[in-house]
């Protein structure tokens, strides 16, 4: 091969190689997934409920689209001093047991909703021990993130659920009250401090969710974040604090309540009665309130007889013709009623009197 041809071949190879480059090489550790985040835990009767968020980026800030496996690890101790450090070696965290391997294409028994993962740990939990958890995430070719931030919780027994929950509906409010549990869920006498978490759902099949920003000390609560003429469903959990741990009971029995409007509209005004030969025509000023559904008309014969109901009209009609009259003097009044499920009726208007000759 001549020198010119050799130099041309070298130049061509250099060009091909250069065309394949898209940037400087990236260190392998910068392509690792970021660790899962927001690891949290709730201690309940016989279990620890864990949740976290899967990562969406890698260490180099590039988008991570192929998280395939997340692994949950646990270690336990008596709760003295710092929890064990979490150091990854291969796909194992040194000194931790692998509690769950969750393949996101078939995550059962874990529950996955978008980035959020929920797992329940019921494995040989001992009252008073501290449990420390970490989570790792692996991509489609097996690159595994560092462990998440550690989360430590002290497992304690939960109490029995609260008892005797009642719900008293009012106007745009529901007043709740319940009894305190007397024992732990395992039957032992209750100790520690109890507070309560109030739960609500908008239908019988919907999940109950807390409506108290933090557990409350009182065994009663008034829910004012409700609307009239809608049914709400309630339960209460007891939250026990003892020995450095916190545990939530199972929910109480569920009760339902339907707040309703209790305030009647104001009475109508401007009632006028115009007699004719065989009838009395009544008119009045219609009420401007949007929840007024109609009016009730009352009549009495003579000056001393009690008023009795003789008819109704639906809003916005503010006219009524009374044809069931003979000669004599009559008194009339009108009330308004609203659109509540059980209508609220106003006081009666001022009476008017009319005589048919």
User: pLDDT tier at 32 (50, 70, 90 boundaries)?
Assistant: very high
Q: What is the pLDDT of residues 242-252, one digit of tens each?
A: 988 999 999 99
Q: pTM of the prediction? A: 0.74
Q: Is residue 262 part of a domain?
A: no
Choose one of 204, 224, 257: the last residue of a domain: 257
For residue range 172-202, list pLDDT tens digits in order.
999 999 999 999 999 999 999 999 999 999 9
Of residues 27 and 73, the one with the higher pLDDT is 73
Domain residue limits at 130: 28-154
| Statement to judge: residues 42 and 124 lie in one domain | yes
pLDDT at 24 over 80: no
- Is 71 found in the same domain as 88? yes
Does any domain span residue 4? no
Burial (CB < 10 A; 0-12, 13-18, 19+), residue 6, is exposed
- In this prediction, residue 27 carries a pLDDT of 57
Same domain, 150 and 192: no
- 6 domain residue, yes or no: no
| pLDDT bracket for residue 5 (50, 70, 90) | low
Q: Is residue 67 part of a domain?
A: yes
Instruction: Tell which of 102, 121, 154 closes a domain.
Output: 154
Nearest to 240 by CA among 151, 79, 127: 127
Are 147 and 57 in a shared domain?
Answer: yes
Number of domains in the chain: 3
Mean pLDDT, the chain, as a whole number? Answer: 92
> Does residue 205 share a domain with residue 97?
no
Residue 16 forms part of a structural domain: no
Asked if 230 and 313 sit in the same domain, the reply is no
9 inside domain: no
Q: Are residues 85 and 198 in the same domain?
A: no
Same domain, 191 and 219: yes
- pLDDT of 48 higher than 80: yes
Taking residues 276-290, report their average pLDDT: 95
Q: Tell which residue, 122, 219, 241, 229, has the closest CA to residue 166.
A: 219
Judge whether residue 6 has pLDDT over 50.
Answer: no
Helix or strand (DSSP H, E) at 18: helix 3-19
Residues 6 or more apart in contact with residue 247 via CB below 8 angstroms? 43, 44, 45, 155, 156, 157, 158, 159, 239, 240
One domain for residues 144 and 119:
yes
Return the ∠ at Cα 61 (arms to 59 and 65), rounded to 5°. 90
Structure letter (DSSP) for residue 250: P
Domain C-terminal end among 121, 154, 187:
154
CATH number at residue 112: 2.60.40.10
Pair 71, 102: CB distance under 8 Å: yes
Same domain, 326 and 221: no
The percentage of the chain sitting over the pLDDT mark of 90, rounded to a whole number, equals 86
Q: Nearest 10 degrees: CA dihedral of 301, 305, 307, 308?
A: -80
Instruction: Report pLDDT for 322.
Output: 96
Give the pLDDT band of residue 23 (cuts 50, 70, 90). very low
Residues 150 and 172 in one domain: no
Quickly state the pLDDT bin for 14 (edges 50, 70, 90).
very low
- Tens of pLDDT, residues 216-232: 999 999 999 999 999 99
Residue 17 within any structural domain of the chain: no
Asked if residue 1 belongs to a domain, the reply is: no
Instruction: Give CA angle at 292 (289, 294), nearest 5°.
Output: 140
Question: In the prediction, which pLDDT does 25 show?
Answer: 52
Are 146 and 191 contained in the same domain?
A: no
């Amino acid at each position: 091969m001549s020198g010119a041809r050799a130099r041309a071949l070298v130049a061509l190879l250099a060009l091909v190689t250069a065309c394949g480059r898209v940037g400087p090489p990236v260190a392998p550790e910068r392509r690792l997934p970021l660790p899962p985040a927001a690891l949290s835990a709730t201690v309940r009767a016989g279990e620890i409920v864990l949740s976290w968020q899967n990562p969406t980026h890698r260490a180099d800030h590039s988008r991570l689209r192929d998280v395939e496996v997340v692994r949950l690890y646990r270690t336990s101790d008596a709760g003295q001093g710092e929890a064990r450090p979490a150091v990854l070696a291969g796909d194992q965290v040194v000194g931790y047991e692998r509690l769950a391997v969750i393949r996101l294409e078939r995550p059962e028994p874990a529950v996955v909703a978008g980035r959020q993962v929920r797992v329940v740990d019921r494995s040989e939990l001992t009252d008073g021990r501290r449990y420390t958890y970490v989570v790792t995430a692996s991509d489609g070719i097996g690159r595994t993130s560092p462990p998440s931030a550690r989360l430590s919780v002290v497992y304690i027994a939960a109490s029995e659920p609260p008892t005797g929950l009642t719900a008293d509906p009012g106007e745009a409010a529901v007043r709740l009250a319940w009894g305190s549990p007397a024992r732990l869920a395992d039957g032992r006498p209750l100790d520690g401090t109890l507070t309560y978490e109030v739960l609500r759902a908008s239908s019988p099949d919907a999940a109950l969710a807390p409506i108290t920003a933090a557990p409350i000390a009182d065994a009663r609560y008034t829910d004012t974040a409700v609307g009239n003429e809608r049914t709400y469903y309630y339960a209460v959990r007891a939250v026990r604090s003892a020995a450095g741990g916190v545990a939530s009971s199972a929910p109480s029995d569920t009760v339902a309540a339907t707040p309703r409007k209790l305030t009647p509209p104001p009475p109508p005004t401007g009632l006028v009665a115009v007699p004719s030969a065989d009838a009395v025509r009544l008119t009045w000023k219609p009420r401007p309130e949007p929840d007024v559904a109609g009016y009730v008309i009352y009549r009495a014969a003579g000056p001393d007889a009690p008023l009795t109901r003789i008819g109704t009209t639906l809003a916005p009609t503010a006219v009524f013709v009374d044809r069931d009259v003979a000669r004599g003097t009559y008194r009339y009044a009108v009330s308004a009623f609203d659109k509540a499920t059980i209508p609220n009726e106003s006081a009666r208007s001022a009476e008017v009197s009319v005589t048919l000759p």
